[in-house]
A and B are shown apart, each in its own frame.
Chain A
C-alpha cells in the first residue's frame, strides 16, 4: 500500500486556506503515534495568494522531508492538484475539494480555468482512486467554512487512508484551533469521518 518507505501525504492549495495548518496537525498526530515525522512547507513570499504545498512523511525511518510519490494527496482547491501530478502514481489516493479559487491570472493572462470534468478525467488516467469532496459545504454545515481542512483530514481517516489513531488526530486538531473553535472543529472532523466511511464502503466515488 505504501509508496516507498514511510507514509507520504501531500497537502496542496492556495496560501491562507489552511494547507500548512493541516500539515502541522497531521505531523503532531503522527508524533503522538510515535512515528518519525518530516515535513516541508511553503512559507514567505510564495504564500501571498500563491500555490502552497505541505509535504508530510512519517514512519519508522524517514529522513528527508520531500516526497517521491504520495500515498495520499489532499487538494484544498479543485485545480491546484494538477500542479503536483508528478507526485501521483496508480497507488495514490486523491481527495480533491470541489472548492474553486479563481486566480486573477485567468483575466490577466487570458488562460481559462479548466472545468471539473477535464481535471477529473486527467487524474483518473493516472489513478483510479480519485475522490471529489464538497469540503466547503461540509465545513459550512459544521458551522464554519474555515474548517474544510479538518473535514478533509476526517475524510481521509474515515476512508481508511490515514494510518494514525482517531484520538491522536483529535488531540492534534484541538491543539491547533482557538478555544472558541474547538467544538466546531470536532464536528467538522466527525462530518469528514462519516463521509470518508461512505467512500470506503463504496457509497460515494
Chain B
C-alpha cells in the first residue's frame, strides 16, 4: 500500500482532509501511542485512518475494543503507564464508558489522555441527540471543541500536552459536520514523546477506595480551579471586541464548534463581522470567565449560538449574575434546542437579533409526493433472510413474537416491509430488556431478542448471563454476519482479525454462549440464507424451553461479494420466469430485496430482478411461493 499523504512527515503540506482524518493526524502529531475505541458513526474513521498510518508509524498501538468502557479503561491504563493515549467513541459510547471515565477523572493521569466524543445533532446515525458537553461539569474535567478540521488537528495535538500539564483527562467533543466534513488542513510536525513507559506504584494515588476518593475529589476540584484560570488564555479561544454600534446598540456573539463557523459566515453575509463583538470559545468547560465578563461589559445585548443544550448560555448567565452585569443575554429563546441548525436559521436569527431586514424566499409549494428513500438492508443482506424465516416460522406456529431489537444494520428491519422490531434503545438492550419481557410472555406471544455479533460481544453477553442466572427464558437470535457492518465493516472478536489486519485470536461464539451457561441442546447454528432449514430450526427454537440461543450465520453481503471478486467466483444470474410469476408480489412487497422490481409483461404486472443490483444470493428463490424465481446455471 502506498503511504497516504496524511501519514507523511511533511510539515507545511496542505491537504484536503475529512475532520476524522484531521483528528487522526493530530493524534499522530501529538505523539500518542495508544489509540483505541469502538466503531460508531460519526467517529469510526478516526481509528480507521490511524490504522492506515500504523504501517508507517509503527509506534502506534491500536485496538478496536469490544466496547467503549473497555476502550476507556485501555486508554486509561496507557495514560497510567505514562503513554499518551486516546479513546475514541460516539456520544452514546461515552455513556457506556462513563463508569470508568467518571472515576478515572478523580485519579488524573500521567501520560496525556484525550477522550473523543463525536456527538450527532439531528440523530443522523444515532438513537439519541444527547449533548456530551455536559460531561465537563459532570466529571469536572475540561471539554474542548474545534470549529474546523484544521483546528481539530491542532487542538487535539495540543490536548496531550495540556492533559499532562494539568494531570487531567481532556474531553474532545465534535459534532457530525466536523467529523464528516472536509477542509484544507496544513500538516504539522510529528512529535516523538521521549517519556518512557513505566509503572507508578502509588496506591494512594490510583486506588479509588473511599478514604482515597474523598481526598482525590478535592484534588480534582483544585485541578479544575487551575484549568479554569487558564481557560481565558486557551489558544483556541479568542475575543474580538468592537466599539461599533448597529441601530444604536453594541451587539455581541458567543459561539463554539461548527455553529461558530456558520455564525461567522452569517456575519460576513450581512457584512457586520467588524461591527460586532465575538467570543469564540475553544474550551467549553471550564468557561473563559474573564473573557465572558469583558464581552458582557462591552455589549448591550448578546446572542449565544450553540446547537443542542444551553450549555454555554447557562455558564454565561451564571457569570453575569455573579458579576452583577445586566447585559441582555439571548440563547435558547432564539435558537431551538432540538436538531441541527440549517444555514437559513443562522441568517434569519442573526438578522432579527441586530434588527436587519432579511426576507427568506418563500419556498415553492410542491404537490409532488416523493416516495421516501429510507436507509435499507442491502440487496442480498442475510439479516433480511433471518427476519423472513422468523416470520414464516411464526406463521406456521400461529404465534406473534415480541421482538426486542438492538443496534446495527439489522435495526433497519423496523421499516416496511419487514416491520420486525417492537423495541430498541441501546447497544445490548435486546437481551437486557427481554429479561423482563420474558416474565410477561405467553405461548402465543413469546419473546425473541435479536442482536448482531459485534453488539453481542459489546454488551449482549452480560444480559445473556443475567438471563441464565435468573432463569429468564426466551429466545436470543444472534445475527452473525462476521462484521461490524453499519459503521464500515470493522472486524470484531468473532472474526479474529485485529484493526491492523493482523490476525488476533478468534472468539468462538458457540463456545462463548455455552460458557454463559446455555445447554448444548438449546444452541442452534444455521446458515441465514438457507430459508427452509432456517424456518424448520426456528420453529424448533421458538417452541423449546429455557433460555435459547440461535446463531443465524452468513457473512455480510458486502464482504461476500468482495470475497467472490477476489477469488474470481462468478455466481449464476438469478431470474424470474414471467410465465410462472403470477404477480403476487410477495418477493417485492413482503420480502423487499431492492433488486426485485415490478415490470409489465403481456399487459400484466410481474416481478423481475435488476441484475445490476442483484448480489446473486439466491434467497428469493425460496421466498417465491410459486417457484417462479430460478438460477441460470
Chain A contacts to B: CB under 8 angstroms = 4-5, 14-15, 23-24, 27-28, 31, 36-51, 61-68, 79-80, 82-83, 85-86, 89, 102-109, 111-114, 118-119, 122, 125-126
For A4, A38, A63, the residue with the greatest tally of chain B CB atoms inside 10 Å of its CB is A63
Q: Are B409 and A111 in contact (CB under 8 A)?
A: no
Q: Are B594 and A49 in contact (CB under 8 A)?
A: yes
Known: A36-B184, A109-B372, A122-B364. 13 other contacts (CB 8 A): A37-B182, A37-B183, A42-B124, A45-B41, A45-B124, A63-B261, A64-B262, A65-B177, A86-B363, A103-B374, A107-B589, A113-B371, A119-B368
Q: Are A41 and B363 in contact (CB under 8 A)?
A: no
Q: Are A24 and B182 in contact (CB under 8 A)?
A: yes
Q: B residues within 8 A CB of A14? A: 373
Cβ of B312 within 8 Å of any chain A Cβ, yes or no, is no
Expressed in whole angstroms, the minimum distance between the Cβ of B444 and any Cβ of chain A is: 27
A-B Cβ contacts below 8 A, count = 170
A122 to B347, CA, bound (A): 26
A5 to B261, CA, bound (A): 14
CB-defined A-B contacts under 8 Å, sample of 27: A5-B268, A24-B16, A24-B182, A36-B183, A36-B184, A38-B148, A40-B181, A43-B180, A45-B375, A48-B486, A50-B373, A50-B376, A63-B147, A63-B265, A64-B261, A65-B261, A68-B344, A82-B370, A85-B364, A85-B366, A103-B373, A105-B372, A111-B369, A118-B368, A122-B366, A125-B364, A126-B364
Of the candidates B264, B373, B409, which one forms a contact with A105 in the assembled complex, judged by CB atoms under 8 Å apart?
A: B373
For B45, B183, B378, B589, the residue with the greatest tally of chain A CB atoms inside 10 Å of its CB is B183
What 8 pairs across the A-B complex have the smallest Cβ distances? A44-B41, A64-B262, A44-B125, A45-B125, A49-B376, A50-B375, A108-B416, A63-B261
Cβ of B598 within 8 Å of any chain A Cβ, yes or no, is yes
- The closest CB in chain B to the CB of A90 belongs to B361
Cβ of B339 within 8 Å of any chain A Cβ, yes or no, is no
A86 to B361, CA, bound (A): 9
A192 to B182, CA, bound (A): 25
Q: Are B368 and A104 in contact (CB under 8 A)?
A: no
Cβ of B412 within 8 Å of any chain A Cβ, yes or no, is yes
Cβ of B588 within 8 Å of any chain A Cβ, yes or no, is yes
- The closest CB in chain B to the CB of A64 belongs to B262
- The closest CB in chain B to the CB of A111 belongs to B371
Cβ of B617 within 8 Å of any chain A Cβ, yes or no, is no
CB proximity to A under 8 Å, residues B435-493: 486-487
Expressed in whole angstroms, the minimum distance between the Cβ of A8 and any Cβ of chain B is: 10
A158 to B578, CA, bound (A): 45
Expressed in whole angstroms, the minimum distance between the Cβ of B96 and any Cβ of chain A is: 18
- The closest CB in chain A to the CB of B416 belongs to A108
Q: B residues within 8 A CB of A62? A: 265
Q: Are A83 and B370 in contact (CB under 8 A)?
A: yes
Q: Are B373 and A49 in contact (CB under 8 A)?
A: yes
CB proximity to A under 8 Å, residues B98-151: 124-125, 147-148
A52 to B191, CA, bound (A): 38
CB proximity to A under 8 Å, residues B355-386: 361, 363-364, 366, 368-378
A83 to B265, CA, bound (A): 24
A28 to B5, CA, bound (A): 13
Cβ of B426 within 8 Å of any chain A Cβ, yes or no, is no
- The closest CB in chain A to the CB of B367 belongs to A122
Q: Are B375 and A65 in contact (CB under 8 A)?
A: no
Given A28-B16, A37-B184, A46-B124, is A103 in contact with B258 using a C-beta cutoff of 8 Å?
no
Q: Are A108 and B16 in contact (CB under 8 A)?
A: no
A48 to B413, CA, bound (A): 13
Of the candidates A39, A80, A118, which one forms a contact with B182 in the assembled complex, judged by CB atoms under 8 Å apart?
A: A39
A102 to B613, CA, bound (A): 11
Cβ of B397 within 8 Å of any chain A Cβ, yes or no, is no
Cβ of B585 within 8 Å of any chain A Cβ, yes or no, is yes
- The closest CB in chain A to the CB of B124 belongs to A46
* Interface 1/0 per residue, B28-45 and A, CB below 8 Å: 000000000000011011
- The closest CB in chain B to the CB of A119 belongs to B368
CB proximity to A under 8 Å, residues B286-302: none
Q: A residues within 8 A CB of B409? A: 48
Expressed in whole angstroms, the minimum distance between the Cβ of A179 and any Cβ of chain B is: 11
Q: A residues within 8 A CB of B16? A: 24, 27-28, 31, 37
Expressed in whole angstroms, the minimum distance between the Cβ of A205 and any Cβ of chain B is: 20
Expressed in whole angstroms, the minimum distance between the Cβ of B203 and any Cβ of chain A is: 43
Of the candidates B14, B41, B147, B343, which one forms a contact with A31 in the assembled complex, judged by CB atoms under 8 Å apart?
A: B14
Of the candidates B181, B361, B378, B592, which one forms a contact with A89 in the assembled complex, judged by CB atoms under 8 Å apart?
A: B361
Of the candidates B148, B182, B269, B486, which one forms a contact with A4 in the assembled complex, judged by CB atoms under 8 Å apart?
A: B269
A104 to B371, CA, bound (A): 9
Expressed in whole angstroms, the minimum distance between the Cβ of A11 and any Cβ of chain B is: 13
Expressed in whole angstroms, the minimum distance between the Cβ of A49 and any Cβ of chain B is: 4
Given A44-B486, A64-B258, is A105 in contact with B374 using a C-beta cutoff of 8 Å?
yes
Q: Are B592 and A104 in contact (CB under 8 A)?
A: yes
Q: Are A109 and B363 in contact (CB under 8 A)?
A: no
Q: B residues within 8 A CB of A51? A: 373
For A44, A45, A119, the residue with the greatest tally of chain B CB atoms inside 10 Å of its CB is A44
Expressed in whole angstroms, the minimum distance between the Cβ of A178 and any Cβ of chain B is: 12
Q: A residues within 8 A CB of B268? A: 5, 61, 63
For A37, A49, A50, the residue with the greatest tally of chain B CB atoms inside 10 Å of its CB is A49
- The closest CB in chain B to the CB of A47 belongs to B375
Q: Are B177 and A105 in contact (CB under 8 A)?
A: no
Expressed in whole angstroms, the minimum distance between the Cβ of A122 and any Cβ of chain B is: 6
